[in-house]
Amino acid sequence: MILTTAIIIGIVALGALGMSGRRSTTMADWTVSGRGFPRWTSWFLQAGDSLTTFSFLGLAGIAFGGGVVGVFALAYLSICSIGLYFVAPRIRQLGEERGYLTQADFFTDRFNSPALGKVSALVGAIFLLPYLQLQITGLGLIVELATGSEAGRGLSMVVASLLVVVFVVWSGIRGIARVAVVKDVLMIAALLIVLGGAVFGIAGIPDTFAHIHSVGPQLLDFSQPGWDSTFFLTAVIVTSIGAGLNTFPHLWPPVLAAKSGEVLRSNYKWLALYQLMLFAPIIVGLTATQALAPDTTGNHVLLDTANATLPSWLVAVVALAGASAAMVPAAAIAMGISSLVSTNLVPVRESLRFRLNTVFVIGAIVLSLGFGLANSDIASLLLLTYGGLTQMAPATLIGLRRKVTVGAVPVLLGMVVGVVTVAWITFFEVPIGSWDSGLIALAPNLVVLVVAEAVRRRSSPTTASDARHAATARA
């Protein structure tokens, strides 16, 4: 009970930090805060999405069950930093010139198509919901595993969700940025603490690899069922494409809020190195193969290892860091969903938009909290998040060009076909081996886009010419 109380107090303190400072009063101020975030504020805001509940719980579990294939996370996060080094400054430039607040604003403007903007907003909002639910559920699991209290799990989820609603509604992106600073410091400390506990309490790194080589060499050669080289390559490729082109709607406000393109380029130069921190949960997962039962649930590996090797007060620090790793992404995702709905889907006058936005923040959090508390199985939707949002990559790449000469309808058709393909593979459990469904779905997406664009140009050459002139004017 004492441990649970200490963690809850820490969560409340994080929420209070997010609420400090002045209140946002307009959508623009709430979403991008004057587009003037300096280097370090922007850095922590963007780094905040690198160390999440996935890196805290999921990655150690993947290493425990699949071995060194867990390094796929380092691969795609490093590769996407290279892509974003070039893409993000262009997004920020267009956003400042054209007044973008959301990803859907970009699609609406670049393709001169409100319909494309609405469809992309709908896709983004729907596919972000399971990602939000993952953060809230992960927070509850962290508290439950750290304290052994199922009641503490539910209480922490409710308290954290309430605080996220309050500080996001109150101060918007500024509140998220403040909590992100503390969250990253806590996460780095927690990962090093758990790594130290595993290395000194179970076995050193050389001994761990020697042990695995002797009793489980398949963990070192990408040959575990479901975690083979096909999984590694396709997961890295599709996630690098999606993340490198910034197809996640909740990651647009941090880019649009940066002071300059140079600030963003500086961030991405160092973010690739920052991903090396992910070696910590991977090594913990590998080390845990010597101490935990083989049938241990993957998401339990890191905290079970912490409980076995650390004193309770350090476990509380680790759990609080994990809670912060859930709260910051949850806040950013709630902002991403609500801004898409209030700005791009609901036609209301500007004076009402900001008030309505509050309703959508609350709705997104409450819906995700309800799924989490009810233990609803929406794992299939989580698979759609990455694969589905990556289907916006072709449209993004085309829209970033100086002259947009491709029509909105072909782009829209390709996007819809890609999303439907991902849903079909996931919900109907189409056997695809270890391939990533998002990468498979990109093929029909691109085929439909190319064919539809060819038909458009052949049937109406004057329209294509007009589109080129319009694109020049929009560039």
For residue 196, is pLDDT > 60? yes
pLDDT at res. 473: 47
* CA 93 to chain CA centroid, nearest Å: 23
pLDDT at res. 244: 95
Q: What is the chain's mean pLDDT, rounded?
A: 89
DSSP per position, 377-396: --HHHHHHHHHHHGGGHHHH
Section 6-12 average pLDDT: 87
Q: Is residue 42 a contact partner of residue 263, using CB atoms and an 8 Å limit?
A: yes
pLDDT at res. 475: 55
**Closest listed residue to residue 108, CA positions, set 301, 344, 320:** 344
Q: Is residue 49 a contact partner of residue 329, using CB atoms and an 8 Å limit?
A: yes
Residue 330, judged by CB atoms within 10 A of its CB (0-12, 13-18, 19+), counts as buried
Phi, psi of 22 (to 5 degrees): -75, 160
pLDDT at res. 378: 45
For residue 34, is pLDDT > 70? yes
pLDDT at res. 379: 46
pLDDT digits (tens, 9 = 90+) for 420-461: 999 899 888 899 988 999 999 999 999 999 999 999 999 876
For residue 463, is pLDDT > 90? no
Hey, how many other C-beta atoms are within 10 angstroms of the C-beta on 4? 21
For residue 383, is pLDDT > 80? no
DSSP per position, 407-448: -HHHHHHHHHHHHHHHHHHHHTT---TT--HHHHHHHHHHHH
Hey, how many other C-beta atoms are within 10 angstroms of the C-beta on 307? 17
For residue 309, is pLDDT > 90? yes
Distance (Å) of CA 446 to CA 113, 222, 418: 19, 30, 8
Structure tokens at 207: 């001994």
Residue 409, judged by CB atoms within 10 A of its CB (0-12, 13-18, 19+), counts as middle
pLDDT at res. 152: 78
Q: Please state, in angstroms and rounded to a whole number, the distance separating the CA atoms of residues 302 and 165.
A: 28
Q: Which of 206-215, 222-231, 358-367, 462-471 has the least mean pLDDT? A: 462-471
pLDDT band at 221 (very low <50, low <70, confident <90, very high): confident
For residue 464, is pLDDT > 80? no
Give every CB contact of residue 218 below 8 A, 6+ residues apart in sequence: 67, 224
For residue 7, is pLDDT > 70? yes
Please state the pTM of the whole predicted model: 0.92
